Amino acid sequence: MKRKLIKGVLTFTLLLAMLVTMANPVSIYAEEPATDDKMTEAGDNTETNQDLDEEKETQESEGTIGTEKAGNEQYDTTKPVIEKVEFPQQGTTVKADETIRLYVYAYDTGTEEGELSVYARISSEGSSTSMESSYDVEKGCYVCEYTLSNTSAEKISISSIEVTDKASNYINYSCYENGEYKYWVSVEQQTSEEVHIKKFEFKQNGQTLDENGMLEMTLETEEELEKIKEMEVPVMSQAINAYYTITASSEFREKERLRAKARHDEAQALYNADRNAKIGIARNLLEMNMPHDQIAKATDLTLEEIDSL
């Protein structure tokens, strides 16, 4: 009897527990460790960063190549190269009607052969002028020439040499060494046994002319007078003999010398005034910090002269 009672109580308790469980169900979840989530997330981020780095490297590589191409095609900053300069007439004496020649061996990686611009200048007694330049295919160099004519200079020097490519890159070759020019020639002046004094007639001598007036002058050389004298016309022969007598006198020669000296002094004064003006301009440009090569082009002075200022 007692056993039946205990069995009934246990059965009732079990039923009661089942009812409570059904009324309040318990959910059981299986949670993954937090460390696994973090590792997975970190792995994803690592893969993403690697992808970004690879993409960045690709873009940088492509950008670098593009810049180089653009640079090679659009910008040439390489200066020409002057291998050597030859001046076969260096230190010799040339006649006043001879041609002096300077040979410049130069090249540029971005310019075709013979397409460089070569500028060479000569100087004499303070004045300067440019030489004509061309390319000699056989010699493989640039030839600068200048024909001397009507010059009274006793010495002519090569004062500057500049080579420029098509991209306007240029290089100057120094022609100055130990305080003097490296390349120069002496000029032999043409002389004659007798000074050829010309017969000169100025028809408007002493007259007043307006701005539209015409000047009439007549010149005859002694050689032409000799031809007239050979005609044996008495009056003309007497006139020519009188002319020779006058021009042969020491007084006449002294006057001619003074006239020539006055013309030379006037030309020298004009040159000095022009040079002083250029020097003044150069000094002002130096104070403005302008590059020396630009000042040389603006004033026609050499780089050595500008450096000495």
Which residue did the predictor score with more confidence, 258 or 243?
258
Alpha carbon distance 297, 285 (integer Å) = 12
Residue 30: predicted pLDDT: 44
- Has residue 35 been placed in a domain? no
Residue 89 is part of a domain; what is its CATH number?
A: 2.60.40.10
10 is a domain residue: no
Which is more confidently placed, 265 or 239?
265
pLDDT single digits (tens) 251-298 = 767 777 888 888 888 888 888 888 888 888 989 988 888 888 888 888
Q: Which of 191, 226, 255 is the last residue of a domain?
A: 191
Which of the two residues, 219 and 103, has the higher pLDDT score? 103
Mark whether 223 and 182 lie in a shared domain: no
* Average pLDDT, integer, range 10-15: 60
- Higher-confidence position of 34 and 236: 236
Q: Taking the model in full, what pTM does it have?
A: 0.43
| 222 and 183 in a common domain | no
pLDDT range class, residue 157, cuts 50, 70, 90: very high
Please compute the mean of the pLDDT values over residues 95-102 and round it to a whole number.
Answer: 90
For residues 110 and 159, membership in a common domain is answered with yes
Pair (164, 130) in one structural domain: yes
Residues 148 and 85 in one domain: yes
Same domain for 289 and 226: yes
Phi and psi torsions of 104, nearest 5°: -115, 120
Summary mean pLDDT of the chain: 75
Instruction: Count how many domains the chain has.
Output: 2
Q: Do both 228 and 290 map to the same domain? A: yes
Residue ranges making up the domain that contains 254: 199-205+216-299
Are residues 225 and 161 both part of a single domain? Answer: no
Which segment of 15-24, 29-38, 116-125 scores lowest on mean pLDDT?
Answer: 29-38
Pairing of strands 99-107, 81-86: antiparallel
Residue 174 falls inside a structural domain: yes
**249 or 13: which carries more pLDDT confidence?**
249
Say whether both 118 and 187 belong to one domain.
Answer: yes
Q: Is residue 26, in this structure, part of any structural domain at all?
A: no
Q: Is 305 part of any domain?
A: no
Residue 217 has a CB neighbour count (10 Å cut-off) of 10
Predicted confidence at residue 128, as pLDDT, reads 86
Determine, yes or no, domain membership for 295: yes
Q: What is the pLDDT at residue 246?
A: 63
- Chain segment 37-92, per-residue pLDDT in tens: 444 444 455 555 555 455 545 444 443 333 334 344 567 889 999 999 999 999 99
Please check whether residue 60 lies inside any domain of the structure.
no
Q: Are residues 159 and 227 in the same domain?
A: no
Place of tokens 């810049």: 67
Taking a C-beta distance cutoff of 8 angstroms, is the pair 125, 274 a contact?
no
- Same domain as 186, residue 149: yes
Is 264 part of a structural domain of the chain? Answer: yes
pLDDT-above-90 percentage for the chain: 25
Q: Are residues 236 and 178 in the same domain?
A: no
Dihedral (C-alpha) 59, 63, 69, 74: value to the nearest 10 degrees? 150
For 125, residues 6+ apart whose C-beta sits below 8 A from its C-beta are: 153, 271
Q: Which two tokens stand for residue 177?
A: 């060494």
Rg of the chain over CA atoms, in angstroms?
49
Segments in 173-249 forming alpha helices (H):
222-229, 234-247
Between CA 59 and CA 23 the distance in angstroms is 65
String of b and e for 170-192 (b: at least 16 CB within 10 Å)?
A: eebbebbeeeebebbbebeeeee
Of the two residues 67 and 167, the one the predictor is more confident about is 167
Query: Which residues neighbour 275 within 8 Å (Cβ) at sequence distance 6 or greater?
Result: 126
pLDDT at 34: 47
